[in-house]
């Protein structure tokens, strides 16, 4: 006997039908509820599981890119430091080589300067020795003139020859005797020159302007000096008359 028959002798009334339908409906709903949430949860889980790898891959990729970028930056910094270190080492090496070359060049220049200085000192010493020897030879050869009229005339002739001034012993002696009688301190205080305030003086009686104009360098600038007086007068006579030899009177 079935369960339905046990309830009310095999007949289902209207209330029973509604109850059974309700139970069936509730059972279906329960079954549906039990299945759908399960399926929804599974789908959600599936979606979560499916999305999670995508989200993880993006984050991991970003982290990995950041790590790679950091690594490249660090490598670049390291490379730059190494390049700078190499450049600094090369610069130091170049500076060391340059310093060594300069030191070598300076030492060479100093040695050359020392050799040159020694050579110059030796040459200067030799020159001084040669000059002293020449002076000694010249002094040995230099004639000694007597401190008298003869000596004054002869010394004057030597100076005149050196300066290209013509004249002879005879011409000088003759004019000296006529002008001053051989007195180097002679002075004319009565002629026109004396009246003009420029008296004739010395062996050949020259006035101051004439003496100054025709004075021979190397002789004293003194009208009364015998040799200075003779050479200046002979120079003037050569300029005006061609030679002291051509003078036979006041000139």
Tell if the pTM clears 0.85, that is, is over it.
no
Half-sphere exposure of 55 (CA within 13 A, CB side): 6
Name which residue leads in pLDDT, 65 or 184: 184
Compute the distance between CA of residue 14 and CA of residue 243 in angstroms, rounded to an integer.
191
pLDDT of residue 70: 82
Estimate the crossing angle of helix 226-241 against helix 169-180, to 10 degrees. Answer: 110
Structure tokens at 91: 């610069």
Examine the pLDDT at 207 and tell me if it is beyond 60: yes
**Which residues make Cβ contacts (< 8 Å) with residue 198, sequence separation at least 6?**
207, 208, 209
Rounded mean pLDDT of 135-162? Answer: 91
Q: State the pLDDT confidence band at 19, using cuts at 50, 70 and 90.
A: very low
**Which residues make Cβ contacts (< 8 Å) with residue 7, sequence separation at least 6?**
16
Rounded mean pLDDT of 159-186? Answer: 97
Examine the pLDDT at 137 and tell me if it is beyond 70: yes
Rounded mean pLDDT of 213-217? Answer: 97
Examine the pLDDT at 74 and tell me if it is beyond 90: no
Rounded mean pLDDT of 107-134? Answer: 92
pLDDT of residue 141: 77
Rounded mean pLDDT of 97-104? Answer: 93
Rg (CA), the chain: 70
Structure tokens at 184: 């180097």
Query: Within its chain, how far is the Cα of 91 from the centroid?
Result: 23
The torsion angles phi and psi of 222, rounded to 5 degrees, stand at -145, 120
Structure tokens at 112: 């050359």
Give residue limits of the domains in the chain: 3-72, 149-246
Question: What tens digit of pLDDT does each residue of 22-71 get?
Answer: 444 444 444 344 444 444 444 444 444 444 444 445 666 677 777 777 88
In the chain, the percentage of residues whose pLDDT exceeds 90 is 61
Examine the pLDDT at 212 and tell me if it is beyond 50: yes
Average pLDDT, the chain: 81
Rounded mean pLDDT of 121-145? Answer: 86
Examine the pLDDT at 99 and tell me if it is beyond 50: yes
pLDDT of residue 65: 73
pLDDT of residue 58: 62
């Amino acid at each position: 006997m079935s369960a339905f028959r046990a309830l009310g002798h095999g007949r289902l009334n209207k209330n029973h039908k509604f109850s059974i339908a309700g139970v069936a409906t509730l059972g279906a709903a329960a079954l549906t509820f039990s299945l759908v949430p399960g399926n929804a949860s599974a789908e959600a889980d599936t979606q979560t599981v499916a999305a999670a790898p995508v989200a993880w891959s993006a984050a991991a990729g970003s982290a990995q890119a950041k790590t790679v970028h950091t690594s490249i930056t660090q490598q670049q910094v390291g490379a730059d430091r190494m390049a700078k270190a190499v450049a600094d080492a090369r610069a130091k090496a170049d500076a060391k080589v340059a310093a060594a070359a300069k030191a070598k060049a300076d030492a060479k220049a100093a040695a050359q300067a020392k050799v040159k200085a020694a050579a110059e000192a030796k040459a200067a010493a030799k020159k001084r020795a040669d000059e002293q020897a020449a002076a000694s030879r010249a002094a040995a050869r230099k004639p000694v003139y007597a401190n008298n009229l003869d000596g004054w005339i002869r010394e004057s002739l030597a100076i005149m020859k050196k300066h290209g001034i013509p004249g002879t012993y005879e011409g000088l002696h003759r004019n000296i005797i006529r002008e001053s009688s051989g007195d180097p301190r002679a002075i004319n205080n009565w002629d026109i020159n004396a009246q003009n305030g420029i008296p004739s003086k010395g062996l050949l009686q020259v006035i101051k302007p004439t003496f100054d104009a025709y004075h021979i360098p190397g002789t004293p600038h003194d009208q009364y000096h015998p040799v200075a007086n003779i050479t200046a007068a002979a120079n003037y006579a050569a300029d005006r008359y061609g030679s002291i030899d051509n003078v036979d009177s006041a000139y």
